[in-house]
Amino acid sequence: MKESAIDTLQAACSASWTNIAASRTGAHSERDRIRSLLRAQRLVPSDTAFVVFGSLARCDWTSGSDVDWTLLVDGEAREDHLSAAHGIRSALVEAGYKEPSGEGVFGGTVFSHELVHRIGGESDSNRNTTQRILLLLESASLGGDDRDVRERVILQLLKRYVEDDYGYRPSAGWRPYVPRFFLNDVVRYWRTMAVDFAAKRRERAGRGWAIRNLKLRMSRKLLFVAGLSMALSCKLRPSTRLTETFESDEQFCSAMTGHLQELADKTPLEILAQWCIDFSAHGAAVEIFGSYDRFLELLADESSRKHLETLSVEAAQADDLFARAREIAREYQEGLTRLFFATDGKLTEHTQRYGVF
Amino acid sequence: MLESHDVRAVELSALRDYELPGLMSAAASLNLERYSYVSVHAPSRFSELSESEVSRLLGLCRDHGWPVVLHPDAIQDPAHWDGFGDLLCIENMDKRKPRGRTPHELDRWFDRFPEASFCLDLGHARQVDPSMTGAHEFVNRFGNRIKQIHLSELNSRSKHKPLSTSTVLALQDVSLRLPQVAVILESVVEEAEIELELKMARSALDGAKMQRRSAPAYMAVT
């Protein structure tokens, strides 16, 4: 089996990220278990895929994780899709899995038409944006016409982003460029998550604030960083398919789409690890991955997790565990800042140009 | 592959016309004693062999009393099939085909072959009309001709898939109205999953389960 970028980076940094490794192993084991369960009961109909998100998709699964999932439908609408979703939900609950979080974003059906055709504008709801961006940055399919359905929906999405970059593609003359439409959607989602965090704190009178704060600063931020890296990689680290000579716009768009799709099949941590390898950013990697490893260690500890889930905003300021969590998040941010702004001149220049404005 | 399973019907298939000569010469020596029902699926189109050669080769089926399952869109000269009587078993088609997908489109074939029987493909019927109204209509119009049933799940690319719970539930309703005939499973599964597929098929054809459900299907996935 091909060595993962995380393992390669770990070796290059002479580091030991045991919690990242353990949570990856745990995620694969749970994925296999769920896959077998769905297959044994034949719960996923044709032209659909059972898609997971969150820690199971990111491969940073801990014992307290829930299973965030949707039944992605890419075919005719059939009235039995609802039955299928209900059946899946029942089977997962019976098997002992926690029901999805996310206020209705997960745990039901999602139609590819909505994801592909509603990008931006009035009809692109918060829910639709969330489901779309997570499909691109943090998803894996575990059952049904799985690879086929998830892959083809992702391809359609990426094709839309690339082909709709009207103002940028022609001027680049079929040379690799940073896909603006895609990057703007990723940035918008990241900022929306941050704003929604504040909204939820108010709506829930601070309940669960501490753990959501930590997750926002760590795993949610990771999604943004992975998406930013994907976009920048088209220009700064193009795959061989993007270095060919193109004879038509269609050919070029197809190459851009293919490049992004390869990355959409990797976990966010894998994307970030490869980025650190590509830029020989070992110092930043030690900070980023070391802190993320300690983040996972904290989440995996049931008493620590429960403590953060019930910690009030007022009590957090003087709380030792929260102080530790805040330090983890601070080091993580330091590492990311170092990677993008103090490692490579071109990376810094492109992050400033495309990531800020 | 089927020896260890409780199956009594088999359909020998030569979907590509170049496969047919080999199948027909092997058929004579096959040990089919355990099967109470045997049929043969004719090629889906005639390119390397002519239609007359195909119908001549399939003449062996008449000798054995084996129904010949034929796609109506493959028929170019109906006269080649006149001698098969009720052993000519016309199948309803999937979305890819230009003809024979609906009861209305099959009417002309049964007008042309008044003695012909019918292979009701439930997978095709559901793909063409997921509401299953078409499947009921097939039974309304040609129920007395049904010689065998094809059972599988088709995706939108017309690929045969294993039966899902959704398909099982959808078929239970129409299964109440089906005659007791041979059922040919067309699902593509690994050998290790044959028994599960058979279980799903029996459930799909257990119309009594549908009758026992007192709530809508989405409340009773079992």
Nearest to A145 among B155, B166, B169 (CB): B155
Per-residue pLDDT tens over the stretch A228-238: 999 999 999 99
Two tokens, residue B160? 């045969």
pLDDT tens, position by position, B91-111 = 999 999 999 999 999 999 999
Q: Packing angle between helix A180-203 and helix A126-137, nearest 10 degrees? A: 120
Residue B167 contacts A where some CB pair is shorter than 8 Å: yes
Average pLDDT, chain A: 92
DSSP letters spanning B70-122: E-GGG-S-GGGGGGGGGGEEEE---TTSSSSSSHHHHHHHHHHSTT-EEEEEH
The pair of three-digit structure tokens given for residue A29, joined into one six-digit string = 């084991």
Among A33-42, A143-152, A202-211, B97-106, whose mean pLDDT is lowest? Answer: A143-152
Q: How high is the pLDDT of residue B221?
A: 39
Per the confidence metrics, is the pTM higher than 0.95?
no
* Tens of pLDDT, residues A6-26: 999 999 999 999 999 999 999
pLDDT band at B210 (very low <50, low <70, confident <90, very high): low
Lowest mean pLDDT among A147-151, A174-178, B155-159, B165-169: A147-151
Residue type, A28: H
CB B100 within 8 A of CB B72: yes
ipTM here:
0.76
Contact B153 A44 (CB under 8 A): no
Tokens of A55: 């820690």
Tokens of A98: 């926690």
Q: Average pLDDT of chain B?
A: 91
pLDDT category of residue B71 using cuts at 50, 70 and 90:
very high
| Identity of the residue in B156, B162, B217 whose CB atom sits nearest the CB atom of A75 | B156
B167 vs A45: CB contact, 8 Å cut-off? Answer: yes
Q: Is B162 on the interface with A (CB under 8 A)?
A: yes
Closest-approach residue (CA) in chain A for B157: A47
Q: What angle do CA A31, A34, A36 make, to 5 degrees?
A: 105
Domains of chain B: 9-219 (3.20.20.150)
> What CA–CA distance (Å, rounded) separates A112 from A130?
13
- pLDDT value of position A102: 62
- For the stretch A158-180, pLDDT in tens is 999 999 987 777 666 788 999 99
Looking at residue A314, its pLDDT comes to 87
Q: Could you give the percent of chain B with pLDDT greater than 70?
A: 93
Judge whether B218 is closer than 8 Å to chain A, CB to CB: yes
Say what the pLDDT of residue A171 is.
65
pLDDT beyond 60 at B214: no
Nearest one of B105, B100, B103, B63 to B84, comparing CA atoms: B63
pLDDT for the residue numbered B202: 94
User: Each residue of B136-155: pLDDT tens digit?
Assistant: 999 999 999 999 999 999 98
**B166 touches A: beta carbon within 8 Å:** yes
B87 vs A245, residue with greater confidence? B87
Q: Between A and B, how many CB-CB pairs are < 8 A?
A: 61
Q: Give the pair of three-digit tokens for residue A271.
A: 């994307």
Which runs of consecutive H residues, i.e. helices, occur in chain B?
20-27, 51-57, 59-64, 103-112, 122-128, 133-142, 165-175, 194-204, 207-212
**Cα radius of gyration (chain A):** 20
Distances (CA, A) of A218 to A222, A294, B52: 6, 11, 71
Per-residue pLDDT, averaged over B33-50, amounts to 94
**Across residues A273-287, what is the average pLDDT?**
97
pLDDT at A175: 87
Contact residues on chain B for A45, CB-CB shorter than 8 A: 153, 164-167
Select from B127, B155, B195 the residue whose CB has the most chain A CBs within 10 Å, as the one to mutate to test that interface. B155
